[in-house]
Amino acid sequence: MKKEVLINAGAGEIRVAIVEDGRLQELFLERTIGLEEGETRKRGGGRSGHSLIGNIILGRVQRVLPGMQAAFVDVGLDRAGFLGAREARCLADLPGFDDERAPKISDCVHEGEEIVVQVVKDPIGEKGARLSANVTVPGRLLVLVPNQPGIALSRRIEDEAERARLIAMGEQMVAEAGAKLVSGAGYILRSNSATATLADLKEDAERLAEAWRPVMARRQASTAPATLYNDLDPVERTMRDEVDDDVARVMIDDRAAAEAARAYCRRAMPEAEHKIEMFEGPGMLFDLYDLEDEIDRLTRTRVPLPSGGWITIEGTEALTAIDVNSGSFTASTGLEETSLRVNLEAAEEIGRQLRLRGVGGLIVIDFIHLNEPDNVECVLETLRASMMRDRTPTQISPMSEFGLVEITRKRLRDPLVKLMTETCRPCEATGRKRTRESVALDVIRRVEREARAVPGRVVKVRAAPDVVAWIETHEDDVRTQLARRGAPQVTFEPRSEYAREGFDVGT
């Protein structure tokens, strides 16, 4: 299995693609233009395209709701964050409570109180960010847990003998490192630690201590609401979380981003620095595996299957429905064989689509009906294998007599379709259209491509007025980043005859 990480650090957006054997398996997007202080996401209080997960914030408790066993905390966003009693229990000085029970929320926090919390789920829809008082700071091999002493392991490490070995090594690390570490803190050993030495763990723990001490210093000097800690930027975070022994190479198309990745490797993972390659062309980085067209298809409802069937993925307020259709495919051996083959293809593809699209919450799959119990179990096993690649916690139900399978996938942020599109009534019954931000970023990428093809010439853009207006609102950032990416001469002309998604880029 050839696994590659492609980082497109373009003007306006950083996109990370995880490719295995030439096929897209993971996609992460983070906007870098339009993130001024005060510009907040229309649908929930975070900044458009910018994840807040992992940020540690000094917040102020606004309301305590005993009936909900929760509190709302002002963390500086449009909507207050939500803190449940279970996530707040580390604030309660009550002996006898264990992990299976939560104290009352009124025993944990009080209205007007300043507390340190961490964002564990981005604002979604009309809901504010989900918070936890049990903050963590992730490293390459370890996760620092300042409020909870002891050693724990990643759930991805399943072998009991290996778990016992790693726990013993973690306890030895804490005992030997002593004062260099955070007093009274605990650690979670990540799956990357399986091949690490004791010295590697000590070094990672000391780096985490260096990251945590300024957080506490800022806590003493700040007034709520205030951000005390931001997680790594997208490039460094990708190196930390995605680059392991299975990754053959990391290709980056921007010199500053490549140097940032190398600098992080020198600090935290020197064994991976040689994997970083600077992409110089020809063409654009994502052209290597025709990723642009595939990314565009991720906002469409229909996904074709190799046999000629397809799956349809449609989201509602309550759940995401996935329908499996055999289409034109008919196996010569009969209906059961046809249904089994299409269902197997669908089960394999569904896990990948859920990851790529960022779909969370309740998911209901309507498979084609099967009569044979062995065939039903075969489909479920394929679906489980497909979902096993997912780092986001999921649960899968048995198949009902109607051919329905329910999945719950932890919802951490808005799905891709909400980031890239918005509600639209008159657009051919699809119900959604591309946002002007996502179209503007397409325009910017096209400018980069054109400038690379005809260096030195002025690139001329004609686009819909609202798209040009968005670009002009962020003109300084757009022109600065385009100049850095080799497109210093660009003109933008609004044209009323263009629909939002239509534009023309030339010289």
Q: Give pLDDT tens digits for 16-38.
A: 999 999 999 999 998 888 654 33
The pLDDT value recorded for residue 46 is 38
**What is the average pLDDT value for the chain, to the nearest integer?**
89
Picking from 293, 316, 336, the residue at the C-terminal end of a domain is 293
108 CB burial (10 A radius; 0-12, 13-18, 19+) = buried
State whether 61 and 90 are in the same domain: yes
State whether 463 and 366 are in the same domain: no
The pLDDT value recorded for residue 38 is 38
Domain of 454: which CATH number? 3.40.1260.20
**Cα gap 61→133, rounded to integer Å:** 12
Q: Which three-class secondary structure state does DSSP give residue 322? A: strand
Tell me which of 226 and 158 has the higher pLDDT: 226
Q: Establish if 196 belongs to a structural domain.
A: yes
Binned at pLDDT 50, 70 and 90, residue 93 comes out as: low
State whether 150 and 121 are in the same domain: no
State whether 189 and 84 are in the same domain: no
Q: Establish if 84 belongs to a structural domain.
A: yes
The pLDDT value recorded for residue 41 is 36
State whether 368 and 444 are in the same domain: no
Q: Establish if 83 belongs to a structural domain.
A: yes
The pLDDT value recorded for residue 45 is 36
In this prediction the pTM is 0.85
The pLDDT value recorded for residue 428 is 52
**Residue 340 near residue 378, CB atoms below 8 Å:** yes
State whether 24 and 63 are in the same domain: no
Picking from 229, 247, 263, the residue at the C-terminal end of a domain is 229
State whether 187 and 204 are in the same domain: yes
The pLDDT value recorded for residue 159 is 87
Binned at pLDDT 50, 70 and 90, residue 413 comes out as: confident
State whether 106 and 144 are in the same domain: no
Q: Establish if 49 belongs to a structural domain.
A: no
State whether 326 and 410 are in the same domain: yes
Picking from 174, 196, 229, the residue at the C-terminal end of a domain is 229
State whether 306 and 410 are in the same domain: yes
Q: What is the pLDDT of residues 469-481, one digit of tens each?
A: 999 999 999 999 9
Q: Establish if 47 belongs to a structural domain.
A: no
The domain tally of the chain equals 5
Residue-wise over 156-186: b if at least 16 C-beta within 10 A, else e? ebeeeeeeeebbebbeebbeebeeebbeebb
Count of beta carbons in the 10 Å neighbourhood of residue 45: 22
**Cα gap 134→87, rounded to integer Å:** 7
Q: What is the pLDDT of residues 127-182, one digit of tens each?
A: 899 999 999 999 999 999 998 899 999 888 888 999 999 999 999 999 998 788 99
State whether 110 and 151 are in the same domain: no
State whether 86 and 117 are in the same domain: yes
The pLDDT value recorded for residue 430 is 57
Q: Establish if 114 belongs to a structural domain.
A: yes
Structure tokens at 337: 């064989």
The pLDDT value recorded for residue 34 is 66
Q: Establish if 51 belongs to a structural domain.
A: no
- Is the pLDDT score of 224 beyond 50? yes
Binned at pLDDT 50, 70 and 90, residue 409 comes out as: very high
Write the CA distances from 476 to 9, 32, 264, integer angstroms: 18, 13, 29
Tell me which of 432 and 221 has the higher pLDDT: 221
Q: Establish if 424 belongs to a structural domain.
A: no
- Is the pLDDT score of 363 beyond 50? yes
Share of the chain above pLDDT 70, in %: 93
Binned at pLDDT 50, 70 and 90, residue 393 comes out as: confident
Q: What is the pLDDT of residues 423-450, one digit of tens each?
A: 776 655 557 889 999 999 999 999 999 9
Range of the domain at 111: 56-132
Cα angle for residues 300, 411, 212 (degrees, 5° grid):
130
**Cα gap 310→313, rounded to integer Å:** 10
Domain of 25: which CATH number? 3.30.420.40
